[in-house]
Amino acid sequence: LSPSPDLALSSCPGRPADRLVVTPREPLVPFGGSTELNCSLACAGGKVEWRGLDTALGTISSFPTHSILHIRKATVATEGMKICQGSCHGQHYQKTVTLKVYALPDTLRLESAPHTPRPGHAAKLSCSAMHLYPITGVALTWYRGHQVVENTDFDFEETDEELYNIVSTLSVSGTEVTEGVEFRCELTLHVGQETFTQVASLVASTKAVTEQLAALVTSTGIPSTARPVATTTALPPGPSVPTRDPTTAREPNAGTTLDVAAVTNPPSTMPAVPQDLIAGSPLPRVATTTVGTGPSVGTVPSEGTMPACSLQIWSLPPTGTRGRALRIECRARCSGNATVSWLRTPAALSQYREESAGSSSALRLDRAEPWHQGHYQCILLGHRAPMVSLEVMVVDDSSSSSPAITMGTAGSLLGLIVTGAVSRRLWKRFRS
């Protein structure tokens, strides 16, 4: 008969079975974080040790009366039951604890299409969160004012790290959008005895829409980096749209659509190229998805036709270099308002400098590192959630060794030519 994991394997009179103590009793560690499990035995000359294959996921420091299991950079594989065994004067004890890992994003993203809900007009709201775990403990609730909205479903996908990205879309009719009404998205994560909650909200306002239109007409400089993402009840600012002389634009290669729409341009004017495309630099890789049945990318729908939207993602430069700047941009092309959101990044979103304007969002890095290499994914909100993905590579900087390699190769080639010429002349002289 096998003993219960939390009972002594054997006991003797006057010696309590709970003399083996493990702290904390319900260990919880954030994804990528660290913790320590301490197993102690109040017995002079006793022995304590952590057992089991799971201990290979950490390091152990052992002492005469206690043993510490160190967990570093916790992953999903780190969680599970941990077993500690101890012995004291021939008596054996065993205790178990279950380590739980959780992951919670820095912010909850609540976005709207159009950018700010306008009273009397229908809108689509999107609430998204990245890198969540465990998915079984996630609950998402929509509120209109203080009233719970029935639609609380969300879509999710698993990442390579066994974490989850979720997105929930709520469509509201014009009658539901009234002046000053607050729409709120609440995310709750239950892990063991702990509960984590994040809330994001935005407010419908006619005044905000008027201010957006004014900014749209008067903007002539660099676009604002503010994006319609709300993590508090404050009204999110509207985007600014840059203007640019279309005659100075350089045309990209065929099939590549990298545009910043100018307010002063007529609808038929071809878009300009982003300022990031420096003369002589290679054009970035672009991944495109087309939504709807409208015209193909690069054309403008005529009046009366169904407007089309396309979503594009690219990186500048196409391949990142360690220690150098890198930019990954996602852009939507629609006849109306459009909002894009990042659904997946190799590193936490807080590691990037996010810049948004109009229907585009860019992630900037001053110094790219290997952990920025991987899968990037963005989503177009309000259009049945289409997504595009891009695999970005980050390589070591080999420019310093390139001149030496080039000179060495040239020198070797010149040496072969000279050696061949001398050998040929000596061979001719020998034959004569």
Q: Determine the pLDDT at residue 214.
A: 37
pLDDT digits (tens, 9 = 90+) for 103-142: 988 888 888 887 777 888 888 888 999 999 999 999 999 9
Indicate whether 175 pLDDT > 70.
Answer: yes
Q: Determine the pLDDT at residue 111.
A: 87
Listing DSSP states for 24-73 in one string gives: SSS-EEETT--EEEEEEE--TT-EEEEESGGGGGSEEEE-SSEEEEEE-S
Q: Determine the pLDDT at residue 167.
A: 92
What is the Cα–Cα distance from 172 to 114, expressed in whole angstroms? 12
What is the Cα–Cα distance from 212 to 274, expressed in whole angstroms? 22
Q: Average model confidence (pLDDT) for the chain?
A: 70
% the chain with pLDDT above 70: 61
Domains of the chain: 17-101 (2.60.40.10), 103-240 (2.60.40.10), 248-397 (2.60.40.10)
Listing DSSP states for 281-305 in one string gives: PPPPPEEEEEESSSPPTT--PPTTS
Q: Determine the pLDDT at residue 55.
A: 56
Indicate whether 2 pLDDT > 60.
Answer: no
**Contact by Cβ (8 Å): 370, 329:** no
- 351: which DSSP letter? G
Indicate whether 382 pLDDT > 70.
Answer: no
What is the Cα–Cα distance from 284 to 7, expressed in whole angstroms? 63
pLDDT digits (tens, 9 = 90+) for 6-41: 544 433 444 444 578 999 999 999 999 999 999 998
Q: Read off the pLDDT band of 331 (50, 70, 90).
A: confident
What is the Cα–Cα distance from 101 to 98, expressed in whole angstroms? 10
Mark 82-105 as b/e (b = at least 16 C-beta within 10 Å): bbbbbbbeebebbbebebbbbbbb
Listing DSSP states for 235-281 in one string gives: PPPPP------GGGPPPPPTT----B--TTS-TTSPPBPPTT--TTP
Q: Determine the pLDDT at residue 216.
A: 35
Indicate whether 44 pLDDT > 60.
Answer: yes
